[in-house]
Amino acid sequence: MSQGPLVSPQAALLRVLITGESEGPEIVRKVRDWTDGQIQLDEQAFATVISDLEKTGLVERRGGAADKRTGQPRPTFALTAAGKTSALEILAASLTRRS
């Protein structure tokens, strides 16, 4: 029987944003890598998780570089001050579990 992920998708997303602002596809890749593939977000799941984190004030959406095909800005996401605090708590807990 396979054990589920040790962290929630929300916690994993906050954790990967510690390193700075990122676009959605990059966040999804980092979450997958950090959780060793235990959490794999498709586009809809990512949209739901990021929306929940925005509503709780942990993540903010910013306008990013223009998409080369459409010219529209691609949104990037960054931690708010409250999000940084939560992310650091998640990082500390993950380091404790691995030692």
Name the residue ranges covered by the structural domains of the chain.
9-98
Q: State the CATH architecture for 9-98.
A: Orthogonal Bundle (1.10)
pLDDT of residue 79: 96
Read off the pLDDT of each residue in 42-56 and give the average, rounded to a whole number: 95
Cα(66)–Cα(94) distance, rounded to whole angstroms?
Answer: 35
Read off the pLDDT of each residue in 53-80 and give the average, rounded to a whole number: 89
Comparing 1-10, 12-21, 38-47, 66-75, the range with the smallest average pLDDT is 1-10
As given in the structure block, the two tokens for residue 37 are 């593939």
pLDDT of residue 25: 93
Predicted TM-score of the model (pTM): 0.81
Is the pLDDT confidence value at 5 over 70? no
